[in-house]
């Protein structure tokens, strides 16, 4: 990972914007620095036109440490990134997007989980068992994002997730990884799995 990971985040955001996963100003990406602080996309920025000035550097407890533009505000979902970095110390990047498929699969959950099909692609999320039976944790969507973050923290402390990804109902998917490159891979794999689930459901109708 670069000493300043903002270029990695810009490249990823441009790709996700072009794929329709970060339309308007939706979504947020962050990458952690060696001191534990992290750069996160500023609120209200078009993810297809980011520059290094469109980020805010935040401390582990949420304090703004650096803002290249005085009007920048941290993403509204900064608390979720804080929680995931706290829970998973090896995580160095956290990506959240709003794709159509991620929202559609919110309808196919069982209790608080989305069962994942035993696809070969699960290996890309670290699942190497034969005929795996794994789930992706699903969380309710609240207007007060810190409430979502608190539920993520409470649940993962009791039951670590099968895969480094979570869904928020009708909101989108979030992944975390030890590098921006790996987080991008995780997100692409998660979205592939979502498309498969949606297509399988359509075939069964």
Whether the pLDDT of residue 64 is over 70: the answer is yes
Q: Tell me the per-residue pLDDT of 108-137, one tens digit each, with 9 for 90 and over.
A: 998 899 999 999 999 999 999 988 999 999
Q: Which residues are annotated as a binding site for Zn(2+)?
A: 96, 98
- pLDDT band, residue 203 (cuts 50/70/90): confident
77 is written with which tokens?
């979902």
Whether the pLDDT of residue 1 is over 60: the answer is no
Q: Which residues are annotated as a binding site?
A: 96, 98
Give domain limits for the chain.
6-204
**Long-range pairs for 16-19: beta carbons < 8 A, 24 or more residues apart:** 16/47, 16/95, 16/97, 16/187, 17/46, 17/47, 17/48, 18/48, 19/99
pLDDT for res 93: 98
Q: Tell me the per-residue pLDDT of 23-44, one tens digit each, with 9 for 90 and over.
A: 999 999 999 999 999 999 999 9
CATH code reported for the domain at 6-204? 3.40.225.10
């Amino acid at each position: 990972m670069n000493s300043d990971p903002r270029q990695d985040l810009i490249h990823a955001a441009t790709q996700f914007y072009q794929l329709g996963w970060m339309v308007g100003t939706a979504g947020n990406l962050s990458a952690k620095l060696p001191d534990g602080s992290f750069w996160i996309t500023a609120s209200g920025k078009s993810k297809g036109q980011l520059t290094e000035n469109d980020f805010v550097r935040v401390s582990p407890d949420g304090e703004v440490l650096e803002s290249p533009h005085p009007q920048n505000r941290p993403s509204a979902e900064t608390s979720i990134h804080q929680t995931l970095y706290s829970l998973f110390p090896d995580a160095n990047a956290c990506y959240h997007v709003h794709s159509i498929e991620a929202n559609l699969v919110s309808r196919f959950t069982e209790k608080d989980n989305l069962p994942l099909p035993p696809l070969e692609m699960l290996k890309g999320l670290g699942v190497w068992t034969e005929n795996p039976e794994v789930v992706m944790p699903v969380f309710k969507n609240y207007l007060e994002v810190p409430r979502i973050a608190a539920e993520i923290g409470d649940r993962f402390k009791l039951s670590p997730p099968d895969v480094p990804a979570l869904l928020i109902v009708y909101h989108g998917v979030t992944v975390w990884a030890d590098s921006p490159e790996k987080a991008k891979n995780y997100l692409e794999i998660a979205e592939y799995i979502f498309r498969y689930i949606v297509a399988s459901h359509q075939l069964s109708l």
